[in-house]
Amino acid sequence: MARRATLSWALPSVLLTLVALALALPVIPRSTHTASAVSPVTRAAHALYAAPALRRVTIGMGYVPSVQFAPFYVAAQRGYYRQAGLDVTFSYAPAPNLTELVGAGNVDFANTDGTEVIAAAARGIPITYIMSEYQRLPVAIFALARSGIRSVANLRGRTIGVPGLYGSVYVGLLAALRVAGLTPNDVRIEAIGYTQVDSVALGRVDAAVGYSVNEPVLLARRGYQVVTLEVSSVTNLVAPGVITGESFAAHYPTVARAFVQATLRGLADTIRDPRMAFAAARQVGGLTTLRGRAADDQYAVLLRAIDFWHGPNTRAHGLGYVDPAQWHSSQQALRAIDQPVPAALPPNLFTNTFAAGAAHI
């Protein structure tokens, strides 16, 4: 019993001693140090270092900047190409050269006439048409109403001005003449350069051929009564769109799809908001000086182009849809007017692989 009493008394004494020792120890203050904030410049540098590098690509366009390229300008200025991982450069060159540049790999993409693509295939140039911009050929024969011309058949014996004896404008004229039962010998075809508007207005030619969205629109805006004969109403020729090289499409399909999808976003925005798209086009060198009447004329051109960029096919399949039937009918039509065509269309000449899934408008 005495032993238990001794332990009971000793325990409180030990505890009191420990407490006293604890109170005697020096107090170590808690650290108040915090990590220094990362400066905005450092964060930006880290982000730049971490961000994947943009893939540089070049697209060959028509001869000069134009409001008709507004979808591409919108895609660039709204950042759609950059969001797709692309740094896009626009390069301008005559249309016949674009297929050769793409086929040789000197440019990655090009916006060119579909009829030129078929002609290139006949020469063995390895290219692939990957997106329709225009859903029907935007080529028209036009004349003043006072000329009495109301149909292609009325052109017999008349003088018709064309920019040159090449390209989709000339081919479109030949195809339309054939459908009307005429040959080039039944009319007088003159190469007049890009003077169609003045040549028709001043009576230098009875009719001229040009882009439906351009020359007839400008002539009408000058106050003339114009008769416009759409080539697409009599023959279903392939319309302008985007091409790339066969090798590029095979080796870099994700890049090709990224470019097409970003471009089609720009096309959709242009269709929905032409005023915005026109403002974007006017930021491009060569178009920045558009003012007054010239600006109004070019805005009318843009509105007319929109009529050709979508229709039944795009409503059913989405923007950029490539219509296989149009290619086969074009092959037959071009062969009938003695234009160079391959015996059979190459299997990779056109595809909907890259445009699939685009917006329906």
Q: Where are the domains of the chain?
A: 52-135+240-336, 139-233
Over residues 204-214, the mean pLDDT reads 97
**C-alpha 356: how far from its chain's center?**
15
d(CA 310, CA 360): 9
Mean pLDDT of 135-141: 97
CA–CA distance, 320 with 109 (Å, rounded to integer)? 15
pTM score, whole prediction:
0.84
Neighbours of 58 (CB within 10 A): 17
- Locate the DSSP E strands across 222-288: 226-230, 241-245
pLDDT band for 2, please (50, 70, 90 cuts): very low
Is residue 250 over pLDDT 60? yes
Q: What DSSP character marks residue 210?
A: E
Residue 123: name the closest of 94, 92, 93, 102 by CA.
102
* 280-325 confidence digits (pLDDT tens): 999 999 999 999 999 999 999 999 999 999 999 999 999 999 999 9
Cα–Cα distance between 77 and 270 in angstroms, integer? 12
| β-strand partners of 55 | 86
Percent of the chain whose predicted confidence (pLDDT) is above 90 = 82
Q: Which helix (H) or strand (E) holds 290?
A: none
Residue 166 has pLDDT above 80, yes or no: yes
Looking at domain 52-135+240-336, its CATH superfamily turns out to be: Periplasmic binding protein-like II (3.40.190.10)
Tokens of residue 142, six digits: 């036009």
Angle at 69 between CA 323 and CA 90, to 5 degrees: 110
Q: Which DSSP string do the residues of 72-135 spell out, in sequence order?
A: HHHHHHTTHHHHTTEEEEEEE--HHHHHHHHHTTSSSEEEE-HHHHHHHHHTT--EEEEEES-S
Region 146-156: mean pLDDT is 98
d(CA 322, CA 87): 25
pLDDT of residue 43: 54
| 248 has a pLDDT exceeding 90 | yes
What is the structure's pLDDT at 5? 37
58 - beta bridge partners? 89
Output the pLDDT for position 10: 39
Q: Which fold has domain 139-233?
A: D-Maltodextrin-Binding Protein; domain 2 (3.40.190)
Q: Given a cut of 90, is residue 42 above it in pLDDT?
A: no
- Residue with the two structure tokens 């234009």: 339
Per-residue pLDDT averaged across 191-203, rounded? 97
Give Cα separations from 136 to 157, 213, 238, 264 (angstroms). Answer: 28, 12, 7, 17
What does the mean pLDDT of the chain come to? Answer: 88
Res 231 pLDDT > 70: yes
Average pLDDT over residues 198-224: 98
Q: Do domains 52-135+240-336 and 139-233 have the same CATH topology?
A: yes
